[in-house]
Structure 1
């Protein structure tokens, strides 16, 4: 009897321990972690932003016609939630709730695996802009550089490649259970085990997210905010680059903390080649402050308190502090650490949360104009094409980071010689649309505008024409499919398919008019 009780006690202790581990994991990683504020910019952590946004929409009471903007970075760079809702109201007088779910590289297979979660948000309309990049057709040529073809490659091979965490980590973060339940017989035991572990344990599933997020929250409160991927401070009149670099002259409205705690700017060694750099601060009231730096690094600046006399006057130039730098630097002429194939003349780098004593929250899908968006304004067609080729194709051996764009460009040319075959992502786009159609959720599929330079490489091929016919068919006809491939000029693009901010604004009215017929 005592032996039986002893065994029972051991089993009870073991079961209690297992339950405790699951409860602890749930509390910290599946519940508590998501109560933290989201202060990440769009490119800081795509998957954390996606998950956080999904949970926010899920918790939001639906009171208006809900439009869900869905897709990859193509969607993010093409559409603005606020501007679209505003334009729909201007055109129709109808209020709408416009939401966005997007991350870089979100392929149709991903959307298919998320189909139930998407439908659970109860959208009245889904707007899904797509482009060549979304079909990931270049993978056939990467997997078999010499003879690979999308018309002959094994579907199973593409499936296994689609869930390679090195190239597509989203499968672990966003839909591990959906992946293993759908493709367990293709992935193999090792992959199946990894996806099952990610499904069961938040600590394993989100291990690539929570340390980065916690580090960012700590840095925003106690650090210099100097190590970051995307700027998320205040918008200054002259704009900054996405990495926070200013031009030779820039301005800002002063805040009290700038005089008491100070703020940081980065000086690079390239800007010191002509000697010391001088920063001159002045306002319209005659207040003047001059600082000099002779060494590179992040420098703390305490703003002269006299500048604060106009602080709070955000509706005019009163109080605006103007900064003039004595030197500039050009990334293309820089050393290895700061080398980039751009010809902009830049100044200093602002800390990530510049101008914000309390970091902004939930701005991950609020796109703002950057210097990169202004780069091509006023360029002629030939000038842009020269810069386009320089940005993407110059010095390939020195630029492994742009290999993806070169491979993508080559894929457009190779696909033009093939016959169309609805491989992998085309197939799962069809399945996704069918699933949503059965649940009476209309989807407006848009073949989004493409840079005329890259479009010319394959637009007239049979493959391109047949792929449009396929998309039109699976969408349900012209009422649910739009071909806008040639709606914009080359100067409206950063690369092959990402709009400049001005192009996004220009296209906003067209997107709004397209969805009006669905708005009740």
Structure 2
């Protein structure tokens, strides 16, 4: 019996030790080759581990929140502006991921203590409060009277908040475990105890990326991570009629892949003219799908920019199936994810690069943009179920304007967050972030919106600061209700820098 107990104890200790070593340590020592929007929670955890191991040599600004934060503030540009405009030499880090809400920012707070932040910045918007979920769950419901426990239970579902099980299982369990049934609670306990269970759905993605980037075609992906194309490239890797690049040894030895759609071919071959000013080559595309191409060896005799020009383009709003999208950008071919690189990029989990969709509104007049906005984001729900949350958000803003403001659930966690930093005398900047003037018009003049602003303002005091800038960016700076285009982000950078710089003593 004693030997059996010793054996069981040894196996348990070994299980915990291997679990800790492999899933808590070793997996974060591998290079991370997942761009921002391809592996949100692994990126967040990887970045946290990276920051935690860095010695603190400068003041630290940490940006928390959701994709609202990521699309609003560029860490590198903010750092440069603070140094150039205020003489502040600081480190700026992100700890944000898509879909984050005040509850999970609150659960993150104890993680921040070891990082020793000098300022925490939290940009928020209507989407972060998840108020639209009330109307989705209860078509006749109201946010000023809905049963809070129903909203909490919904917020804990894996579909609405996978981070609760992947990132913060123990913290979630302690905070809102009483709202869970026994089956759900057991999942959280298991996720808290074993990292192999906790990370089972996220660590595989990075391993797959590593294998694909080294041995695969890199033709199955959710975000382009290759070289910057001078003519611009879509976030999914689609070119326009032309694209340019410098030839590499990898392209010389292995060629490169492009995806050709039936809409580009339109029933007949499509010619590609390739030139570097000295050498010229023509390739005829005859079949749809991923096609492997090889350049003439003469292109590799000198390092000159190679330009590819397609005979014609196609338009996603005229396509069908997975290629259908409501925008008017001319489309060419899709490049493999790591196109033009000798080795895949790593450590890009919070780096943003400009894409062609960031420039589609440049120079548009307000009325033209309004029409494009509604067409791009709100039309064709039956063909594009992915825009469902945007339609739900619009309906929520139109309905909540008729309600009274009720500071429940996520709003209460905003207060807890503010109190946390006030008690520790750590500077905290809560920002009511810019929102598209189009969606603001749906509810900005309501009593609900005004009372919600008053509530946010009431959270300030001591080391806690509040900043309302919800009308600070013209509509052309938004890609939707609350996400900035790259140009919008650049436009807002000096505004953020000025407010943040003034929080530090001269």
Normalised by the shorter chain, which TM-score bucket?
over 0.9
| Residue number in structure 2 paired with 1:426 | 411
Q: Secondary structure at the match of 1:114?
A: helix
1:465 aligns with 2:450: yes
| Residue number in structure 1 paired with 2:287 | 295
1:332 aligns with 2:325: no
How far the C-alpha of 1:308 sits from its partner, in A, is: 2.6
| Residue number in structure 1 paired with 2:51 | 57
| Residue number in structure 2 paired with 1:169 | 162
Name which of 254, 257, 262 aligns with 2:255.
262
Q: Secondary structure at the match of 1:257?
A: helix
1:281 aligns with 2:266: no
Assess if the C-alpha contact under 8 Å between 1:78 and 1:504 holds in 2. yes
Cα displacement string for residues 86-142 of structure 1 (whole angstroms, at most 9, x for unaligned residues): 011110222110111111111010000111002321110011111111111111111
How far the C-alpha of 1:305 sits from its partner, in A, is: 2.8
- Stretches (4+) displaced over 4 A: none
1:483 aligns with 2:468: yes
| Residue number in structure 2 paired with 1:198 | 191
1:154 aligns with 2:139: no
Number of equivalences: 505
How far the C-alpha of 1:479 sits from its partner, in A, is: 7.4
How far the C-alpha of 1:441 sits from its partner, in A, is: 1.3
Name which of 1, 23, 42 aligns with 2:17.
23
1:37 aligns with 2:22: no
Q: Secondary structure at the match of 1:396?
A: coil
Assess if the C-alpha contact under 8 Å between 1:107 and 1:135 holds in 2. yes
Cα displacement string for residues 238-274 of structure 1 (whole angstroms, at most 9, x for unaligned residues): 1111000000012112212211121111111110015
Once residues 126 and 478 of structure 1 are traced to their aligned partners in structure 2, the CA distance between those partners, rounded to angstroms, is 11
1:135 aligns with 2:140: no
Unmatched 5+ stretches in structure 1: 1-6, 312-318
| Residue number in structure 2 paired with 1:368 | 353
1:351 aligns with 2:324: no
Assess if the C-alpha contact under 8 Å between 2:427 and 2:463 holds in 1. no
Q: Secondary structure at the match of 2:314?
A: coil
1:208 aligns with 2:193: no
Provide the alpha-carbon RMSD of the alignment.
Answer: 1.3
How far the C-alpha of 1:429 sits from its partner, in A, is: 0.9
Once residues 254 and 440 of structure 1 are traced to their aligned partners in structure 2, the CA distance between those partners, rounded to angstroms, is 54
Cα displacement string for residues 437-484 of structure 1 (whole angstroms, at most 9, x for unaligned residues): 211211111111110010011101111111111111113289711111
Once residues 445 and 85 of structure 1 are traced to their aligned partners in structure 2, the CA distance between those partners, rounded to angstroms, is 19
- Which TM-score applies when normalising by structure 2? 0.98
Cα displacement string for residues 252-310 of structure 1 (whole angstroms, at most 9, x for unaligned residues): 122122111211111111100151111111113x2111111210111112222322343
Cα displacement string for residues 201-250 of structure 1 (whole angstroms, at most 9, x for unaligned residues): 11111111122221111101000000000011111111111000000012
| Residue number in structure 2 paired with 1:104 | 98
Assess if the C-alpha contact under 8 Å between 2:249 and 2:342 holds in 1. no
Once residues 256 and 17 of structure 1 are traced to their aligned partners in structure 2, the CA distance between those partners, rounded to angstroms, is 49
Once residues 14 and 464 of structure 2 are traced to their aligned partners in structure 1, the CA distance between those partners, rounded to angstroms, is 53
Compared CA separation, residues 85 and 386, structure 1 to 2 (3 A):
same
- Which TM-score applies when normalising by structure 1? 0.95
Once residues 234 and 462 of structure 2 are traced to their aligned partners in structure 1, the CA distance between those partners, rounded to angstroms, is 41
Once residues 26 and 445 of structure 1 are traced to their aligned partners in structure 2, the CA distance between those partners, rounded to angstroms, is 36
Once residues 450 and 12 of structure 2 are traced to their aligned partners in structure 1, the CA distance between those partners, rounded to angstroms, is 57
Name which of 71, 77, 87 aligns with 1:77.
71
Cα displacement string for residues 340-374 of structure 1 (whole angstroms, at most 9, x for unaligned residues): 11121100001001111211111121111101101
Name which of 488, 499, 504 aligns with 1:503.
488
Assess if the C-alpha contact under 8 Å between 1:310 and 1:320 holds in 2. no
| Residue number in structure 2 paired with 1:408 | 393
